[in-house]
Chain A
Amino acid sequence: DTEVTQTPKHLVMGMTNKKSLKCEQHMGHRAMYWYKQKAKKPPELMFVYSYEKLSINESVPSRFSPECPNSSLLNLHLHALQPEDSALYLCASSHVPGAEAFFGQGTRLTVV
């Protein structure tokens, strides 16, 4: 089983809303990642969690707040987003940092 589950699949939110994206895996992976992908562009790394600790933050604005409550779950809390933050948000996990990564289906976010 190499499944990474992301919810919701689609999300529309206003600029004053607070929402959260969820990512779950039950493969015993100890590294989890958030990526952002704009249309016709490659995914861009946002955050890396290694053994439930934030190890990499690629200078992401503070309106994106990651959280890793346990080794199976990764959240991305969203607050005061801008329309340019509309994108596909992808979560991935790997056995250990840098190992083969597996992706979820993504959450397509629209900020209005």
Chain B
Amino acid sequence: KQEVTQIPAALSVPEGENLVLNCSFTDSAIYNLQWFRQDPGKGLTSLLLIQSSQREQTSGRLNASLDKSSGRSTLYIAASQPGDSATYLCAVGANTGNQFYFGTGTSLTVIP
């Protein structure tokens, strides 16, 4: 079974700092990988989707990379803002796309 780990579990940074969130997975036979943010008590908002054949995706201040062979993905957030405070989750799609496995998330606090 695919195991997904996110490190660190929590992160606190001052506003304006660049930061990296990590996601690792045990089975490299993946369908795709998606990063989400979740605000307290809310559903998930999609941030970036990386197909299994891609190495990275960018959207605004966010950049996600994927290294399938080493079982790792990173989410880079540039010039962090207090509004970025949320829990960030990565989800790995099984090879058939029928199941997705989530990490436990990284809780980010950006201090004004």
Do A and B truly interact? no
Interface residues of B (CB under 8 A from A): none
